[in-house]
Amino acid sequence: MRRFARLFDALDRTTSTAAKRDAMARYFDEAPAADAAWAAYVLGGGKLKRTASSTELRLALAAETGYADWLIDDCYEQVGDLAETVALMLPEGDEGDADVPLHVWMEARLPSLSRLDGAGRIELLREWWRALPRDQVFLANKLLTGALRVGVSHRLLVQAVAQWSNLPTDLIAHRMSGDWRPGATAFTALAAPERADEHAGERPYPFFLASPLEALPDTLGEVGDWLAEWKWDGIRAQVMRRGDGVLVWSRGEERLDGRFPEIEQAAAALPPGCVLDGEVLAWTANEDHPQLFAALQKRIGKLKPGPKLLADAPVRLMAYDLLEQGGEDLRERPLAERRQRLAALVDGHAPTLMLSPSIDAVDWPGLTAVRGESRTRRTEGLMLKRLDSPYRVGRKRGDWWKWKVDPYTLDAVLIYAQPGHGRRSGLFTDYTFGVWDGDTLVPVAKAYSGLDDKEIDRLDRWIRAHTRERFGPVRSVEAVHVFELAFEAIQVSGRHKSGVAVRFPRILRWRTDKAIHDADTLDALRRLASG
């Protein structure tokens, strides 16, 4: 793991994506394929099984160092990361010459831990730590707890593999998409020359992503040059009609096959060799708006949905683009033409396959007025797409804009805080906010983002000085500070103590001008949720 530790260090110490890509490509060149495969898997965000709990790490650390639990807690609070806390508190281990390769850790060591009972697990952890230098203790702990993050996106990893193999990024993205499993053969195969039939395989086209519109829409020029559609609140997906079958890919390039049989059936009736881009929505027949996102969520989690779920939350594809037809890649053609072809293609397949309707307006004020209806139509606002634009790759500004409606807001009181992770580890940056239910504050939202560094520092100091109680890493604080939160939607929820669930809450500003009795009430939120 020594070589992987060096790579991790190199990745950790730079914010330059080019430097990260080079470091990974170099590593893939030098490392044995069996190790490189695991590195690629782990760095690309591949899921790891958690083989040890944080409680076990704490127990082993206390046993190994003799430090009191409270002191371990204090250190953890300062560091904000348990794997690192352990590495910093342990005496430096003696590695000797015995470097255990990464693939041996992943394929033999970690599984061997799973086979042991409680006491044996603690013993083995301690034994491993004693033979590792500090950086490897940290990494081993990260792998054990299944949570290694180092600012490498899947996309960047793909670029690094492409650079190493000297092959196009799209090809590598395809080869690594879906359920790519790490192994020496699988890794070597990534660099194999492209096969002629590979293009028509299962690979989705890279998604084109819209940018948020921050300026006024009239800065975009003539309204007639633009296609306006609703911005649907569902799951972005590519539905591919290939060969004899249908594949469904999420925007995160995960296969959704089997989850939406209605859509697969409808798409199977399309002529082979076509690829649709659109939004999967839960939508009851004869309704004029989709169901809430929560209904769709039940469907995402269910691989083979039963008849009741299918009846309760039927799904449809609101298609808005056509990327391939008759086996031909259409992405360079103008949107207007792609949309025309799409309309003809899905004609007769409604409601399961539908063309996302265009919204016509003679001028920007007219469109702005229609946008005002977004909420009642259960959409997030409008999409604006230039009619002569190609289908680009990734987030490229200029041709596709999302013009969201203003969020809901509420004033809430800070009641709990907990140290953050990553760049903000060691600082109290994860906040829980409450609103009034009679004379008690009930938690309604958790938010992480929205304050600047100065405010975070100030609030962190205040939290440390005004802690009321500690529950592990979480502190309850005196009710003093009011924050304005924004959120996208609110719905009634049986799973939340407050009875409501807010979607995408974030901090808009610290309302130092407000006192806690100015905060909102739960009653008001409930009315909003049921209305």
Residue 76: closest CA among 61, 91, 63: 61
Q: 370-384: buried (b, 16+ CB within 10 Å) or exposed (e) per residue? A: ebeebeeebbbbbbb
Tokens, residue 427: 């600082």
Q: 462-475: buried (b, 16+ CB within 10 Å) or exposed (e) per residue? A: bbeebeeeeeebeb
Among 37, 60, 79, 345, binds other proteins (CB under 8 A): 79
Told to check if 459 binds other proteins by CB under 8 A, we report no
Task: Tell me the H-state helices in 234-292.
Answer: 261-268
Q: Beta strands of 205-352 (E only): which ranges? A: 208-209, 211-212, 226-232, 235-242, 245-250, 274-282, 315-325, 328-329
Asked whether 238 and 275 are in contact (CB, 8 A), the reply is: yes
Told to check if 470 binds other proteins by CB under 8 A, we report no
Told to check if 467 binds other proteins by CB under 8 A, we report no
Stretch that binds other proteins, among 166-174, 186-194, 321-329, 421-429 (CB under 8 A): 421-429
Residues 85-144, interacting with other proteins (CB under 8 A): 85, 88-89
Told to check if 418 binds other proteins by CB under 8 A, we report no
Residue 80 CB, nearest approach to other proteins (Å): 5
Q: Which C-beta is closer to other proteins: that of 71 or that of 343?
A: 71
Among 4, 25, 28, 84, binds other proteins (CB under 8 A): 84
CA–CA separation, 87 and 83 (whole Å): 6
Told to check if 426 binds other proteins by CB under 8 A, we report yes
3-state secondary structure of 471: strand
Residues 372-401, interacting with other proteins (CB under 8 A): none
Q: 304-318: buried (b, 16+ CB within 10 Å) or exposed (e) per residue? A: ebeeeeeeebbbbbb
Stretch that binds other proteins, among 79-87, 313-321, 339-347, 513-521 (CB under 8 A): 79-87
Residue 77 CB, nearest approach to other proteins (Å): 9
The residue with tokens 């079958």 is 245
Asked whether 86 and 159 are in contact (CB, 8 A), the reply is: no
Q: How far is CA 427 from CA 2, 38, 104, 173, in A?
A: 30, 32, 35, 36
Stretch that binds other proteins, among 42-50, 80-88, 267-275, 466-474 (CB under 8 A): 80-88
Told to check if 12 binds other proteins by CB under 8 A, we report yes
Q: Which C-beta is closer to other proteins: that of 13 or that of 497?
A: 13
Told to check if 427 binds other proteins by CB under 8 A, we report yes
Among 21, 43, 64, 80, binds other proteins (CB under 8 A): 80
Residue 400 CB, nearest approach to other proteins (Å): 32
Told to check if 15 binds other proteins by CB under 8 A, we report yes
Residues 58-77, interacting with other proteins (CB under 8 A): 65, 67-68, 70-71, 74-75
Q: How far is CA 147 from the centre of its chain?
A: 14
Residue 89 CB, nearest approach to other proteins (Å): 5
3-state secondary structure of 415: strand
Where on the chain is the footprint of other proteins (CB under 8 A)? 12-15, 65, 67-68, 70-71, 74-75, 78-81, 84-85, 88-89, 422-427
